[in-house]
Structure 1
């Protein structure tokens, strides 16, 4: 009888302990859920205009998910973003280029969020559909100034592109010009959208924009016979692209971390990256 009583007491004790554990587990879940809903504050980001077509839908979707957070995203060019995040005037500096040596001691932390392909575009009256890499170099350095010299009609070439603060310009300088200087005889615009508008309204104009900005108002040109497609980038056939970076000064925390994590999440990447003209990093062949 004593043995039975002890056994019953032992079973009751174990059951009590299990009950306490289950209650604690449920309470822990509620706490985690509360943490997610309690994320609040303002996130400020500036820099790359190439990245804006991706971050605008990210901003909208994130604010619906986290109603206590306000996200403000502005352009200005990659180096503007890098300078502002390094100075602490914004939370995130968006850039088409990796932070160079002058930023190495600024405590910047890199978050690669997508791949941005760039496309050369021309006014719709231009008859040329494709240029070689060398022809692009010759046009952008001012060596070739008439479309007839690259198989087109007798028409002046007007180069439209970005200021020196632009990551798009830095990408083209590195990938296409390979260090050769741009001609000064060019029309400079402050954003991808402005470049597209200027080219669309200027006969004989040519320039480059992020792939997300290409539309029917301009003509997309092939590069060495290869038209831009996401698969062409992934398979290494189309070389004109850049990794997109979101830099923070130190490790991201709070609402800033939550926003970057959301942009990098499969939830966002699968639904928005390709749709908005970018290539998911996970698709790239290392």
Structure 2
């Protein structure tokens, strides 16, 4: 009887030790799963949404560190492709960017952003034709007087090469990429500041950046409004893409799902000036073709 009791005691001790080890391993696994560093780089048009959503997400998920940086869509696509960042933010499809292997990337669309030509609010210009806009950015028109404005030289402010905002504006607004040589800026925030401070300046910005001191210019009597974007009546818009190299890991997928969630799409997205994809009446493909949403 004593031998049986001793044996049972030994079995019990071993069971407790095994349970302890398993519990420790489970806790270590859980801790690993709940901690992660996510780096999102690229589009400055998308940057405000990812920054604010990321800040809120971090307060709800201890151990998650989300870093958001600009640099332009080209930078985002290049860095996610080479594996140096977790998410590449882009205003353009990966297929549109030379040197990027789109087949290696997974597209996670998180919003729609519209873009409009902008001038200093004090200039007094409210509308242009598409032909006038093209002539301004190609250097044929150099004074605002030629389009009904004051006798003032035009200062063209461009985004840098590699900017998704620039590529979208040139493709869908100007319908040419053969623009005049002018000052180029790396971020939407810098463009916003320069146009606000320069009386004769013109540039282009995503809707979230069009604020006090700036005037969004209508084209061919079509106003740059969300309502007109929904039906492609205002055609200068793009998806906001959060690209990953292959399928995202667990924590990155959770954050992207949060960006696409009703909580963000119904509150933060419209609040910041973006458009929820579910509101769009049309959809655009990587080749530029448009079709009605079914």
TM class by shorter chain equals 0.7 to 0.9
Residue of structure 2 in register with 1:18 after alignment: none
Residue of structure 1 in register with 2:270 after alignment: 274
Residue 82 of structure 1, aligned match among 77, 83, 99: 77
Deviation at 1:223?
A: 2.0
Residue of structure 2 in register with 1:152 after alignment: 149
| More deviation, 77-86/53-62 | 53-62
Q: Does 1:213 align with 2:212?
A: no
Residue of structure 2 in register with 1:61 after alignment: 56
Structure 1 contact 48–75 (Cα < 8 Å) conserved: yes
Residue 170 of structure 1, aligned match among 167, 170, 175: 167
Change (3 A) 1:105 1:208: closer
Q: Does 1:249 align with 2:245?
A: yes
Q: How does 1:1-80 map to 2 (within 5 A)?
A: 38-80=33-75
Q: RMSD of the alignment, in Å?
A: 1.9
Q: Does 1:192 align with 2:162?
A: no
1:259 and 1:275 mapped to 2: Cα distance? 19
Structure 1 contact 38–68 (Cα < 8 Å) conserved: no
Q: Does 1:123 align with 2:147?
A: no
Structure 1 contact 156–204 (Cα < 8 Å) conserved: yes
Deviation at 1:74?
A: 0.3
Q: Does 1:138 align with 2:135?
A: yes
Q: Does 1:227 align with 2:209?
A: no
TM-score normalized by the length of structure 2: 0.82
1:84 and 1:216 mapped to 2: Cα distance? 34
Secondary structure class of the residue paired with 1:94: strand
CA displacement, residues 182-220 of structure 1 (integer Å, 9 cap, x when unaligned): 111x12111111001111111210000110011112222
Deviation at 1:117?
A: 0.6
2:99 and 2:75 mapped to 1: Cα distance? 13
CA displacement, residues 262-281 of structure 1 (integer Å, 9 cap, x when unaligned): 10111211111111100101
Change (3 A) 1:37 1:116: farther
Change (3 A) 1:104 1:37: closer
User: Which blocks of at least 5 consecutive residues in structure 1 are unaligned?
Assistant: 1-30
Change (3 A) 1:78 1:105: closer
1:124 and 1:138 mapped to 2: Cα distance? 21
Residue of structure 2 in register with 1:181 after alignment: 178
